[in-house]
Amino acid sequence: MKKLWKSLLLASAAVLSACGGGGGSGGEAALQYRITLTTAKSQLPLNLEYLRASQGAFAPYTTTLYVDARVGSNPIPGGPDIFQCALVQGLDSGSLYYLDGDSEHEDDNGNAAAFRSVVLDANSGGASFHFHSSDQAGTARIVCSVTDPRDRKLYSASVDIVVGAATGKVASVVGIANSPFVLLSRDASARLPYRNNISVQAFVMDDANQPIPAPSAPNLQVSIRPMGPAAVGARLLQANQSGSVLQVRTIGGVGLFSLSSGPTSGPIVLEYVTDRFDNDITNGIQDPVTSLQSIQVNDQVAAAPLALPALGDQNVTIGLPFATAFAVQGGVAPYTWSAVALPGGLSISNDGIVSGAPQGPAGVYSGVITVVDAVGTKVFGNVKFTVASSGGAVVPNPLTINGCVSNGSATCSLPAANVGEAYLYSMSVSGGNSTDPVVWTYAPNPLPAGLRGGSTGNSGVISGTPTVSCNARFLVTATRGTVTVTQQVSVQIGANTAACAS
């Protein structure tokens, strides 16, 4: 009889357990599960250094999340695989981590592995895990759920974690040449996979290194700078635009276009200009953010040894903007450039453009240029820089129009134009107080050969349809507050290099 009574007690306990009484008292058996999810930090900085997930005071990119489930005031029963937690929004902004030392939650190198979802055991009705931010600003939403074994109902809770913040103000623009990586001259005899057209991406990023939101008007001006023979006959292409200047609207911070080479090999220098003021370059450029990119045009691929042609002597002036592009022959593209012993204020980019504003003192400097091609071949070249004094007082934060290059001539050459084809180029000015508007004037006015300069508001746009093949020269003056700069400018229209008639 005692054995029978004991068996009935055990059976009753099993029935209560199956109904989900768990850690609650008998009076709480009908209460629903309640689940909560909290985070130690609801906002994390952008992880631009790509540091690994970790814990503690020196882990600014990681936060701990706590999930807890109860029946009434008591924890649910413990056990394996009780909580399912997933990242349902903002996957580009971060990932989930266990950080529990379990080798199953680590990669082959013993580092904590990233997950989109995790499954957690319940200990006293709760569990913890981690979220680690990435380099994309956004809001991550994490949802955790638990199933009540009494009625198989699912209960869930969520929490949002804000990662970084985008400023929406242009801070940088960088161009990257893509497939097929090697650009041949138009008349080269080689065939696919190399050709005379190359696709280019220009990345426009804000202060937090986040893509600029898609604007309603073009916000990126790309132009071919007339710096060497390879620029002749080359053109930029995008949709219905074709010529030496494009105005592009970025999507997700990326502007896409292509570059077609002309008949001559050498470097083609692309100039990128965006406007930090209003992210719109169609109404003039008030606060320019610029960069240069050099794309090498080859007559043949890996058919000649890597070589640097003689580097011509360079004349520069203290305090005045300077840029020049060096060419390379032979080898296998792409190339990596470096330099030592340049005058103070000058530096070389990874694609062979030496630029900057020389600081002095005046004198002669001997620099060394180094080029390494894709297979590791290295060549050196010597270049002489003669740095001259500016010959006058230095204006505090002086204005510079269009980043015009001092190349021994007082004239700044803009991208070329063709007779009968629409021309559009937005001038830019650097220096002065960027909060002051820029007022543009032109002489002569109207400009020669069918061109015209914007004359209202802050417009620095040169436009029109040229009517005569000639070299149009005119003066452009930019005034910002109490500071003024005047620059002689030229636009080559067609093939006739004679000056346009006044």
> Which tens digits make up the pLDDT trace of 230-240?
999 999 999 99
- Three-class SS of residue 496? coil
What tokens does 393 get?
Answer: 């007082």
pLDDT at 407: 40
Residues 6+ apart with CB under 8 A from 42: 159, 160, 161, 162
Q: Are 236 and 202 in contact (CB under 8 A)?
A: no
In the chain, domain spans: 2-163, 167-301, 302-394, 400-493
**Mean pLDDT (the chain, rounded):** 86
pLDDT at 11: 37
pLDDT at 5: 36
Lowest mean pLDDT among 313-322, 384-393, 446-455: 384-393
Domain spanning 2-163: CATH 3.10.250.10 = no
pLDDT at 23 over 80: no
Determine the Cα–Cα distance for residues 243 and 224; give it in Å rounded to an integer. Answer: 9
pLDDT at 230: 93
Lowest mean pLDDT among 2-11, 157-166, 347-356, 385-394: 2-11
Q: Domain 302-394 is classified in which CATH homologous superfamily?
A: Immunoglobulins (2.60.40.10)
pLDDT at 27 over 80: no
> Which tens digits make up the pLDDT trace of 284-308?
999 999 999 999 888 877 768 899 9
pLDDT at 353 over 90: no
Q: Domain 167-301 is classified in which CATH homologous superfamily?
A: Immunoglobulins (2.60.40.10)
Q: What secondary structure does DSSP assign to 454-483, as a single string? A: --STT--EEEE---S-EEEEEEEEEEETTE
Nearest to 75 by CA among 67, 84, 85, 63: 67
- What are the φ/ψ torsions at residue 119 (nearest 5 degrees)? -120, 130
- Three-class SS of residue 229? helix
pLDDT at 310: 84
> Which tens digits make up the pLDDT trace of 173-212?
999 988 666 788 888 766 656 788 999 999 999 999 999 9
pLDDT at 2 over 50: no
Confidence of residue 214 (pLDDT cuts 50, 70, 90): very high
Q: Is the dihedral of CA 408, 410, 414, 419 positive or negative?
A: negative
pLDDT at 47 over 80: yes
pLDDT at 3: 41
Determine the Cα–Cα distance for residues 411 and 486; give it in Å rounded to an integer. Answer: 11
pLDDT at 408: 37
Determine the Cα–Cα distance for residues 113 and 46; give it in Å rounded to an integer. Answer: 19
Q: Higher-confidence residue: 310 or 276?
A: 276
Percent of the chain past pLDDT 70, that is, above it, reads 88
pLDDT at 410: 63
pLDDT at 393 over 60: no
Average pLDDT over residues 94-115: 94
Domain spanning 400-493: CATH 3.30.110.40 = no
Confidence of residue 95 (pLDDT cuts 50, 70, 90): very high
